Amino acid sequence: MNAIVDCNSFYCSCERLFRPDLRDKPVVVLSNNDGCIISRSDEARKLGVGMGIPYFQARQIIEKQGISVFSSNYHLYGDMSWRVMETLRSLCQHVEVYSIDEAFLDLSEVPLHQLPDHVREIKDKVEQWTGISVSIGVAATKTLAKLANRLAKKNKKASGCISILATEEERRIALQRTRVDELWGVGRSYALKLIDWGITSGWELSQMPEEWAHSNMGGVVGVRLIRELRGLPARVMEEELVNKKMIATTRMFGRPVSQLHELKEAVATYISRAAEKLRRQQSAARTISVFLVAKEQDHMVNFRRGATISSFVNLDAATPNTHELIKPALELVEQLYEKGKSYKKAGVMLSGLVPDASVQGNLFVPQAQNQRRFLMNTIDNINFSMRDDSVKFGSSGMNKDWKMRQELRSGRYSTRWEDLRTVK
């Protein structure tokens, strides 16, 4: 059996941990740039705050109802996530960290009759040791476990935030009660197609032939989905950490940006950030892509599909060094930039990643860059142990006037000494 452990309203729960006065009170957390609502407590949901909606649209109801609002504080969430995952690892041998607030567990060694007690114990321990409450869904496959978890969350009181689909009967009833658009692996566009074809429940989808899924739902992806719904595992546990194949850093600007030098500052800053991620996994990158998103005149139409222009360059040899990445990236900015236009977003992507240790030599590139590697490590260590960006490259700018808004961020309670909470 597979279990999925999912932290309840994770970001809100993290904020509340350090603000006990907000327990049982409505809370929401905003995305970067204070743009959208990306986490909301049950109380906020009951007051009618939608998930994923723009902050400015929810603002009225938020102010009227006195809902507490936080900008996102990823230092805090990342650290709390780590604590939750370490707790799970101490309770279960096979853990796959799936996202910042979710993990799959392999419980196949637990006898069926012991499952309810076992799962309850996991839930209680996590809450006791980290202060974060979780929901747990258990079933024969990952997809069904996600479904079980969904059902557990739907009615927390009755389920105690735990749902186990152990028998065929339970699987069938659960699938019959679930609409296709609520299934893990069915997004908007497949949901529309399925409903068009008259397939509305998870149960109906699970009855479709695999060949049909192959030709109508993205080939092997659809086949796997159907198998999983039938209780045949098609998604295995992936426990070991795998290196990223692509690393991106992209941000909206706090205000429209039209000056070339500001765009360059932003891109240099993003490259620095991406290169840190690159070195953390001991990789080097050979391909750099840069993209700019222009601020559209008519922001009502398709704001997400704003005119994006992008370009990329392949280096002669892969590198993990910030300055070697910044220079070509800035040349790309110059190519892409159009005078007079204003931009709302920029981003960089590093790909063609290879292990740093085995970077292929190239006759035409000077070797002996060990000193630079050492310098990069030093800078990373300083930035990690002190405030962000204590040491940085001049090209990333000093003022950063264009930086995203984050007006309502809480303290970094668990990762910064100076933000440590005091208890009377």
Query: Residue 52's closest CA among 68, 76, 30?
Result: 30
**In the numeric block, which tokens belong to residue 367?**
């070797």
The CA-atom distances, in angstroms, between 245 and each of 99, 135, 319, 352 are 17, 31, 15, 7
**In the numeric block, which tokens belong to residue 403?**
């930086």
Strands 162-164 and 343-351 turn out to be: unpaired
Q: Which is nearer to DNA, 114 or 308 (CB)?
A: 308
The Cα 325–Cα 347 span in angstroms is: 14
Q: How far apart are the first and last CA of the chain?
A: 46
CB of 10 to DNA, least distance (A): 8
Q: Which is nearer to DNA, 77 or 203 (CB)?
A: 77
Q: Which is nearer to DNA, 80 or 118 (CB)?
A: 80
Residue owning tokens 């990342």: 78
Q: Which is nearer to DNA, 35 or 411 (CB)?
A: 35
CB of 36 to DNA, least distance (A): 5
CB of 344 to DNA, least distance (A): 6
The CA-atom distances, in angstroms, between 388 and each of 176, 408, 416 are 50, 18, 11
CB of 142 to DNA, least distance (A): 10
- For every residue of 321-382, DSSP letters joined together read -HHHHHHHHHHHHHHH--TT--EEEEEEEEES-EEGGGPPP-TTS----HHHHHHHHHHHHH
Q: Which is nearer to DNA, 118 or 325 (CB)?
A: 325
Residues at the site binding DNA, with contacts judged by CB under 7 A: 31-33, 35-36, 38, 52, 54-56, 98-102, 146, 183-191, 218-221, 244-252, 273, 277, 299-300, 303-304, 344-345, 347, 404
Q: Which is nearer to DNA, 114 or 282 (CB)?
A: 282
CB of 325 to DNA, least distance (A): 14
CB of 265 to DNA, least distance (A): 15
Q: Which is nearer to DNA, 118 or 183 (CB)?
A: 183
The Cα 49–Cα 61 span in angstroms is: 8
Cα–chain center distance at 74: 11
CB of 184 to DNA, least distance (A): 5
CB of 187 to DNA, least distance (A): 2
Cα–chain center distance at 188: 19
Q: Which is nearer to DNA, 28 or 118 (CB)?
A: 28
Query: Residue 118's closest CA among 150, 164, 151?
Result: 164
